[in-house]
Amino acid sequence: MSIYSADFGNVDVKGNIQFAIDYVEQLNELHIFICQCKDLAVADVKRQRSDPYVKTYLLPEKYRLGKRKTSVKKKTFNPVYNEILRYKIEKELLKNQSLNISVWHNDTFGRNSFLGEVELDLGAWDWNDPSNKQINWFPLKPRTSAITPDPENRGEMKLALQYVPHPIGGKKTLSTGEVHIWVKECHNLPLLRGNRLNSFIKCTILPDTSRKSRQKTRTVAKTTNPVFNHTMVYDGFRPEDLKEACIELTVWDHNKLANHFLGGLRIGLGTGKSYGTTVDWMDSTSDETALWEKMMKSPNTWIEDTLPLRMLMVAKLTK
């Protein structure tokens, strides 16, 4: 597995990217100011165009804090973004991180093409040097992180999603639909203690962190390959709400004293924002985003996939 595992393309890398990074002590946030790119390679040779966007990861644990993405700029080799990508992270932790900034062509059919990257070792970065806060140009390089240490395997979840715009039996005046989540089974869940595993799944639809937003499956005992076959239904979704929401599914090992987190998914568009506000939970991987996009494009149809579970900073519940 690599950063590029779900992406395609074979483009000769060229061009430069202009950005600045800074750590904002008051917010405990790393800010990456993506300014622009110039002289990017042609990704779509047939139509002589590129539709570039910029993506960032903190390595080596790329799943823990997720990716951040800029908007897509259409038909340009010299895109201007002027966007800030933010990571909520303690400064001390950055000593063990590298920042990977990569440029991609956004393909309509999901086969995104890699256009180059820059990688900075944050452990060797001098945050007190004023010149390091300035906007600088960096040459884009071919893939250097093709083999990134992957986090320990947390297993995977087989599930299906469906958006029902006009539920049967609903009031005709209602213009909201339902999201149906069919959690089928998990495979190869990690054993945290001995050889016993009693697992269950929690679901929350963000940004709603109230307790009424939470649903969960029954607990399946003594197996690392539990079959749940549990369907959850959430109502009140207008089509435009689907762009702002995110399904957080988390798998837990049930214990009398405390439940232990095993891994999770966040299925949404992964834009980093919800209703105009920057949020750290809108961090879906490309596979998770692809499932959500297919669901949005195919109402009243079950869309199924098997996705790898990953480390998440689980959203806190409010009352």
Fold of 155-309: Immunoglobulin-like (2.60.40)
- Entry pTM: 0.54
Supply φ then ψ for residue 102, to 5 degrees: -125, 155
Residue 149: count of CB within 10 angstroms of its CB? 12
Q: What per-residue confidence (pLDDT) applies to 6?
A: 38
Among residues 157, 179, 180, the alpha carbon closest in space to that of 263 is found at 157
Contact at 8 Å (CB) between 106 and 51? yes
Among residues 104, 105, 107, 51, the alpha carbon closest in space to that of 75 is found at 51
Task: Indicate if 155-309 has the same CATH topology as 16-139.
Answer: yes
Angstrom distance (rounded) from CA 215 to CA 32: 36
Among residues 188, 182, 178, the alpha carbon closest in space to that of 201 is found at 182
Angstrom distance (rounded) from CA 60 to CA 96: 8
- Sheet strands (E) in the chain: 16-24, 29-38, 52-59, 68-69, 80-88, 98-105, 113-121, 136-139, 156-164, 177-187, 199-206, 215-216, 227-237, 246-253, 260-267, 273-274, 277-278, 303-308
Tokens 């093709």 sit on residue: 146
- The widest CA-to-CA distance across the chain, in whole angstroms, is 64
Domain edges within the chain:
16-139, 155-309
Give me the tens of pLDDT residue by residue for the chain, a chain 319 residues long. 234 433 445 688 999 999 999 999 898 899 999 999 999 999 888 889 999 999 998 887 655 666 788 999 999 999 999 999 998 888 888 888 889 999 999 876 556 788 999 999 898 888 888 888 899 999 999 876 543 434 456 889 999 999 999 877 655 556 789 999 999 999 988 876 666 789 999 999 999 888 778 899 999 998 989 999 999 999 888 889 999 999 999 999 988 777 888 999 999 998 888 998 988 888 888 889 999 999 999 999 999 999 999 887 776 666 5
Angstrom distance (rounded) from CA 63 to CA 210: 25
Contact at 8 Å (CB) between 286 and 127? no
Fold of 16-139: Immunoglobulin-like (2.60.40)
